[in-house]
């Protein structure tokens, strides 16, 4: 009886522990939109501070997302959602894919894709809790429409 009860408790613990992963991105997940109408976890984008800006640029024959490395220091930043500004300064349509693991499709992985027309700007809002839970400390960004284009990394100091 003791071993059976222990097995039930251990099994219950395993079920509960296993279920916790399914609650990733429950604070609201990634939201995209424009500055005037976009919001994340009830906070309008226009009321948030932009934490980082990314630009699709063409330098000679190279098409890239600039800057190639961005750092956000969360040690001195308030706990408000993260707001990223993404602008296409190139002459053609470009994609912006942001994710913790580009090739991983688990529901707990932070992953978003947007497509921007030339001159277009969009914003990406991410609850801080979702970002830390699902992303680790490095996010990668790239153009998912043109795999040969140069991407970059977003490093989060926690």
Domain map of the chain by residue range?
26-157
User: Phi first, then psi: what are they for 20, rounded to 5°?
Assistant: -60, -30
**Which superfamily does CATH assign the domain made up of 26-157 to?**
Cupredoxins -  blue copper proteins (2.60.40.420)
Q: Is the dihedral of CA 116, 145, 148, 124 positive or negative?
A: positive
Contact 5, 11 (CB under 8 A): no
Burial class (CB in 10 A: 0-12, 13-18, 19+), 23: exposed
Encode the chain (158 residues) as per-residue pLDDT tens digits: 444 444 433 444 433 343 322 233 445 578 999 999 999 988 999 999 999 999 999 998 899 999 999 999 999 887 889 999 999 999 999 999 998 764 555 666 778 899 999 999 999 999 888 777 766 788 899 999 999 999 999 999 98
DSSP E strands, 12-126: 31-33, 39-40, 43-44, 52-59, 62-66, 69-73, 82-88, 94-99, 111-116, 121-126
d(CA 103, CA 97): 12
The pair of structure tokens assigned to 57 is 């640029």
Give the pTM: 0.79
């Amino acid at each position: 009886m003791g071993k059976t009860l222990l097995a039930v408790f251990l099994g219950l613990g395993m079920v509960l522990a296993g279920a916790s992963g399914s609650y990733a991105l429950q604070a609201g997940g990634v939201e995209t939109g424009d500055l005037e109408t976009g919001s994340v976890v009830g906070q309008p984008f226009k009321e948030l501070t932009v934490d980082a800006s990314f630009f699709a640029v063409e330098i000679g024959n190279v098409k890239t997302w600039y800057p190639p490395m961005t750092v956000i220091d969360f040690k001195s930043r308030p706990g408000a959602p993260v707001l990223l500004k993404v602008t296409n300064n190139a002459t053609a349509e470009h994609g912006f894919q942001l994710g913790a693991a580009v090739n991983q499709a688990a529901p707990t992985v932070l992953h978003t894709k947007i497509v921007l027309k030339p001159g277009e700007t969009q914003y990406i809002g991410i609850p801080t809790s979702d970002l830390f839970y699902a992303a680790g400390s490095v996010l990668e960004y790239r153009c998912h429409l043109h795999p040969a284009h140069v991407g970059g990394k977003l490093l989060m100091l926690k």
